[in-house]
């Protein structure tokens, strides 16, 4: 089971490193398919910082015009390749067992 994580970003230079690292901490390496950072026309270093993650599973997309939260999320959803998709907004903080509990619930219910 592969998980794609979509991170919408607008001027998140101060948070983008934490957000990417959080995905590594919460999702086992063998289950993490990709991290898709979608930049919504940031005026700071968000794109450069996300691009410098040094992990081929991190992909950075850029909106050509500001799309807002849901348009930015949809851009990430459209390019996700995982069986499951998790959205990590910049103001979210995932509990260490968040996705494990969700994936276990999906397995139990046949999802």
Could you report the per-residue pLDDT of 61-80, keeping only the tens digit for each? 999 999 999 999 999 999 99
Query: Are 11 and 46 a contacting pair, CB within 8 Å?
Result: yes
* pLDDT above 80 for 111: no
Which pTM value belongs to this model? 0.92
Q: Using only C-alpha atoms, what is the Rg of the chain?
A: 14
CA gap 7, 17 in Å, rounded: 11
Confidence of residue 90 (pLDDT cuts 50, 70, 90): confident
Q: Is 62 helix (H, G, I), strand (E, B) or coil?
A: strand
CA distance 109 to 95: 22
* Predicted confidence (pLDDT) per residue in 8-66, tens digit: 999 999 999 999 998 988 888 888 999 999 999 999 999 999 999 889 999 999 999 99
Rounded distance, CA 99 to CA 22, Å?
11
């Amino acid at each position: 089971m592969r998980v794609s994580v979509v991170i919408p970003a607008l001027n998140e230079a101060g948070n983008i490193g934490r957000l990417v690292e959080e995905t590594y901490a919460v999702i086992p390496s063998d289950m993490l398919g990709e991290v898709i950072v979608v930049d919504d026309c940031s005026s700071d270093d968000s794109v450069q910082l996300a691009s410098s993650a040094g992990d081929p599973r991190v992909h950075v997309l850029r909106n050509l015009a500001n799309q807002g939260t849901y348009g930015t999320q949809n851009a990430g959803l459209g390019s996700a390749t995982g069986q499951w998709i998790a959205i990590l907004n910049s103001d979210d903080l995932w509990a260490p067992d968040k996705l494990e509990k969700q994936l276990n619930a999906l397995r139990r219910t046949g999802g």
